[in-house]
Every structure is written in structure tokens, then in C-alpha cells.
Amino acid sequence: MGLQEKYTQEIEDFLYVCHWLAEHRFVTSHGGNLASKVEENLFLITPTRRYKNILTADDLVFIDSDGKTVEGTREPTGEVPMYLNLFRERPDINSAIHCHPPYTNAFAILKGTNWLMRPIYPETVVEVGPVPVVPYGEPLTQRLADNFKPFLQKYNTFIMESHGITAISPSDILRLMHIIDMLEVSSISILSALATGEIKEIPREDVARLENTMKTRELPMIGAPGVNKSYLDLFYSD
């Protein structure tokens, strides 16, 4: 049995996310890419130079942990070095998405306070966490991949300076799509508030209490397992 047959459901979900990102203009032209771990050392990934709205199962590529194609006729995305770093440094994750949601992407070029690092909305605190800015690196390079390393253990979502965002998750690709959608809606509200007045944060003591929400919803703590002991560590330790 080939990998296309073995992972029919995973491919169906993967394509749904590809098309959803394009329809919501979170990716344009050839931009953006996705990867999903289907088994140890085997990853489903998008091809290079293909618009996500027209992808079919035949376009997708399976690669191993060395970046070699295991199955598929197309060349995988040029961001393979970044994805291999992500999955190598964070063995707990199962999915990763790089895209350019327009409102969140404003923070990739915005000077001043990065409000995505602050506790503004409860749902964003517990499901997205703080979103740091990864220093600029030329796309499709090892330098860009390496720029993530100082941030990878503590956070799950990253602004790529002057570029886009990347998000990772121990959940599947569909759940990660929902997390990115939540982040984009939060970004819209934050930018709207900045345009009309000042922003208020959730008080520190209430941030601590959000761990009750995390436990009720059976959500994992943001970051690699064991790195962040609490939301106070996550938001106030730097």
C-alpha cells in the first residue's frame, strides 16, 4: 500500500487547510506552506511554487527527517530546512503552518510594542500564547530556520520579521488552522483598539487563574513539555 492510500484522511484534512488558507487570503500566489507528521520521521508537506487553492492529493509530497522525498512527484517547498528544524527541536509537535494572515502580519513590520506578546484575550492566552518576533532571515535559507531556535522551546507561534507567521502544535493540522484563525481575529481587535485608544491587559492575577481554563479544556501548556510551569512563567518571566 502506498502512502497516498495509507494516509487518505490525513491528506484530506491537509488539503482542506491548504484551500481554507487560500480562500481566506492567509496565503497568496506561491506563498505559505504546511507540514504534518504522519509517523515518526515521515512528514506530509506542500510542494514548491504551487498556489494552495489548487492543490490536489497528487501534488503533495512525503519526506523523511533528512528532507529526502519518500513519495511524490513534485519538489517539496523550499522551506524544508525550517520544517526539519521545527520537528527536530520540538518532537512533541505534529503540525506546522507558515502563512501570511494580513492583520497578524502587520506585527511583522510594526515598530514599537508587540501586543501579541501580552495577555489580551483569555482564549488567545490559553490556546495561542505569546507570539515573539523571530529576527529576519532570507526565505528558504538555513539562516531563517536557525533564527527560530532561541524561541522554539518556550512558544508555539512566531512572527517572522518582515515576512509572515509560523505556528506549530501537538494537535493535528485542522486544530492548528483554528488556532491561527483565533490569532488573526485577535490581531484585528488589537489593531482596531490601537487605532481608537489604548489597550488594557488581563490583570496578572487573572492570567494565573486561566490555568483553570486550560485544565477544564484539557489543553497543553504552551511550549515544549515541561518548559513553562505556568502562564506567569510564560508571560512575565522575561
- What pLDDT, on the 0 to 100 scale, is given for residue 141? 80
What does the alpha-carbon distance between residue 143 and residue 146 come to, in Å, rounded to a whole number?
A: 5
Q: Above 80 in pLDDT, residue 140?
A: no
Average pLDDT over residues 155-171: 97
Instruction: Compute the radius of gyration of the chain from its Cα atoms.
Output: 18
Above pLDDT 70, what percent of the chain? 99
Per-residue pLDDT band for 142 (boundaries 50, 70, 90) equals confident
pLDDT tens per residue, range 92-132: 999 999 999 999 999 999 998 999 999 999 999 999 999 99
Reported as a pLDDT band with limits 50, 70 and 90, residue 143 is confident
End-to-end alpha carbon distance in the chain:
50
- The grid cell for 117 is 506578546
In this predicted model, what pLDDT tens digit does every residue of 166-191 receive, in sequence order?
999 999 999 999 999 999 999 999 99
pTM value is: 0.95
Q: Which of 161, 182, 163, 186 is nearest to 171 (CA)?
A: 182
The three cell numbers of residue 152 are 522554539
pLDDT reported for residue 1: 67
Q: How far apart are CA 173 and CA 169, in angstroms?
A: 8
Residue 238 confidence (pLDDT): 62
Distance CA(197)–CA(217), nearest Å, equals 33
Closest C-alpha among 98, 92, 114, 121 to residue 222: 92
Query: Could you give the number of structural domains in the chain?
Result: 1
CA distances (Å), 131 to each of 2, 13, 58, 114, in order?
Answer: 38, 25, 34, 8
Report the pLDDT averaged over residues 155-172: 97
The answer to whether 148 touches 155, Cβ cutoff 8 Å, is no
Domain housing 213? 3-236
Residues of the chain with pLDDT > 90, as a percent, come to 93
Q: Are 26 and 164 in contact (CB under 8 A)?
A: no
Q: Mind listing the pLDDT tens digit for each residue in 29-63?
A: 999 999 999 999 999 999 999 999 999 999 999 99
Judged against a pLDDT cut of 90, whether residue 3 lies above it is answered with yes
Spell out the alpha helix ranges (H) of 61-141: 80-89, 102-105, 122-127
Q: Where are the beta strands (DSSP E) in the chain?
A: 33-39, 42-45, 61-64, 69-71, 95-99, 133-134, 157-160, 164-169
Average of per-residue pLDDT values in the chain: 95
Cell for 129? 500564547
CATH number (domain holding residue 171): 3.40.225.10
